[in-house]
Structure 1
Amino acid sequence: MAKSTSRKTPIRRKTSKKKKSSFSFKSILFFLFLIGILFSAYHYRSALSFYFKSQSNKNNKVDKVAQARIFQILKAHKDLTFGIDVSQFQGEINWDEVDSIENKFPIKFVFIRASAGSNKKDRRFEENWEQAKEHHFICGAYHYYRPNENSIEQADNFINAVSLHKGDLPPVLDIEKLPENQSIDSLKVGLKRWLDRVDAHYSVRPIIYTGEKYYTDFLKEEFKGYTFWIANYNFFVENIKDEWLFWQFTQKARIKGVDENVDVNIYNGTPKMLQYLTISN
């Protein structure tokens, strides 16, 4: 008989189970996201506190997010100087009530629109100018420049509307629009003609108001001898730049005594420094 051979059972090797990482990629992303949320909450803690307190205000016309941002920026610049600018679009203003922003940040100066283009007078300029001065605000007047109209006629329109005296801020040229039927170079010539004529009349160099992009793209290099009042409402821009004399950071402020939204501005200096900027004679 043939010997029977017993088959050996193959030895099964144990497969080692991979240990799951205690921190998966998704866990890391979630952790970083959480850190970002906490950091943002801490960074905007003043604004958030203001926002939730303001929820008791049932005025639906108020943009509470905008008000919270305004509070945050003003608090961060508490050592500087705050002001507003107004025109006929704010309607009739009760200047007896105009005093501060959120009862915390005092208003020290007011820019008032005097004229626009070659023949437009702001219909509330004289009233606003007189009332603001009576309430002891430092006052400045500005002209809204229309690129497609004659620059000298526009300068004369402003000059005919505004008398500046000791203690007033320098005149302001407000340029926001691009020309429709002339080149940028021609626009710059017109702006310089306006500035030169107004400078010669008041014996003080005007301030130029414009948006930050307009300033960067068209004015920064060729108007280096002038000071600038820059408008930038970007939510993530939180600090005034060194090269800005004034920063208009919002057009949505609510001020006692004014029914409509108001622009708020920061002067890049102390109240005492603002006095040095005014006309001296």
Structure 2
Amino acid sequence: MAKNTTRKPPIRRKSSKKKKSALLFRIVLITFLLFGFLYGSYHYRNAIRYYLSSKSDRIAKEDKFVKDRIIQILKSHKDLTFGFDVSQFQGNINWDEVNSAKNKFPLKFVIIRASAGSDKRDSRFSENWSQAKKYDFIRGAYHYYRPNENSIQQANNFIKVVSLHSGDLPPVLDIEKLPENQSIDSLKVGLKRWLNIVDSHYKVRPIIYTGEKYYNDFLKEEFKGYTFWIANYNFFVENINDDWLFWQFTQKAKINGIDEYVDVNIYNGTPKMLQYLTISN
């Protein structure tokens, strides 16, 4: 009696057409990645040279490196609006000379530190505040928030120091540090309390200043109704993001009339749009 034999199914071989398509896809992908790498290497060649140089070389090159980046950012955002921010750490400012960045890009606004924590008043706030008005800058005031101090006292401290008028920017809450003795959730409760008290007093919603990482990690989702002023000095960040109202892109600018380094900022809009952001009574 003959045995039943099971015939193995024939081995299906990939068609040469499919092989050619897969090979072509790989070639295109590798070419694209290689082009991207070469373009990125060329585009950021100065930054790469800077970061790969020795510490002593970096120190020697830093001034030129920073200046070149500032000019590059200003040129690429020339249709937007430039401003700066100051505190007592900039010392005595000669406001007669303060008018532009790099003697070419007009400065339209200034944001001035008013207070810090529950009891600190910036020692140069009154002078800077009045001089900014005298020299026709659109002015704003900010409070440096100390996470380990009482949020209600901090809000009241800012309110005691700052009187806002028509044409001024909304108040700004500056949060940069993480708390030492409380949770992030507790910190957020305190921030919201400060914002609500200040909002109720001035009848305008405050702006929040912070670093990009802090914004992404802790604030972006829970504070969606607020506008943000973001600090990011990374050389590889070349453009303001759509969800940033202001971008502080450097802390090492030199401006006529100010001896110390100054933070320079870009408002994400035209000067006319900035006017619409101001308080109207």
Flag whether TM exceeds 0.5 (same fold): yes
Check if 1:64 corresponds to 2:64. yes
* SS of equivalent to 2:130: helix
Distance 1:61 1:256, change over 3 A: farther
TM-superposition CA deviations, 1:16-55 (whole Å, max 9, x none):
xxxxxxxxxxxxxxx98996599428x98xxxxxxxxxxx
How many Å separate the matches in 1 of 2:61 and 2:253?
12
Equivalent residue, structure 1, for 2:106: 106
* TM-superposition CA deviations, 1:209-231 (whole Å, max 9, x none): 00000000000010000000000
- Residue of structure 2 aligned with 1:40, choices 30, 40, 43: 43
User: Residues 33, 166 of structure 1: CA spacing in aligned structure 2 closer, same or farther, 3 A cutoff?
Assistant: closer
* Deviation of the 1:170 alpha carbon: 0.1
Deviations 1:53-87, CA, capped at 9 Å, x for gaps: xxxxxxx8982211110000010000000000000
Q: 1:33 to 1:158 in 2, by over 3 A?
A: closer
Q: Percent identity?
A: 77
Matched residue count: 236
Counterpart position of 2:218: 218
Paired residue type of 1:194: W
Structure 1 CA distance for aligned equivalents of residues 40 and 122 of structure 2: 47
Distance 1:115 1:188, change over 3 A: same
- Write 1 or 2 for the structure with the bigger share of helix: 2
Cα separation, 2, equivalents of 1:188 and 1:37: 39
Asked if residue 140 in structure 1 is aligned to residue 143 in structure 2, the reply is: no
**Aligned-partner Cα distance in 1 for 2:62–2:85:** 19
1:82 equivalent in alignment to 2:82: yes
Cα distance in structure 2, aligned partners of 1:153 and 1:121: 13
Q: Deviation per CA, 1:189-241, whole angstroms, max 9, x where unpaired?
A: 00000000000000000000000000000000100000000000000000000
CA 1:202 to 1:64, structure 2 compared with 1: closer, same or farther past 3 Å? same
For 1:197 and 1:262, locate their aligned partners in 2 and report how far apart those are by CA, in whole Å.
30
For 1:248-267, list aligned pairs within 5 A.
248-267=248-267
**TM-score normalized by structure 1?**
0.80
Cα 1:275–1:37, aligned 2, differ >3 Å: closer, same or farther?
Answer: closer
Secondary structure of the 2:152 match is helix
SS of the counterpart of 1:187?
Answer: helix
Aligned 1:95-174 pairs, distance under 5 A:
95-174=95-174
Q: 1:96 to 1:224 in 2, by over 3 A?
A: same
Structure 1 CA distance for aligned equivalents of residues 148 and 65 of structure 2: 37
Distance 1:34 1:244, change over 3 A: closer
Q: Show the counterpart of 2:177.
A: 177
Instruction: Flag the structure with larger Rg.
Output: 1
Partner-residue secondary structure (3-state), 2:67: helix
Q: Give the 3 Å change call, closer, same or farther, for CA 178–38 of structure 1 in structure 2.
A: closer
Question: Which amino acid in 1 is paired with 2:131?
Answer: Q
Structure 1 residues without counterparts, runs of 5 or longer = 1-30, 45-59
Q: What secondary structure does 1:164 align onto?
A: coil
Map of 2:238 onto structure 1: 238
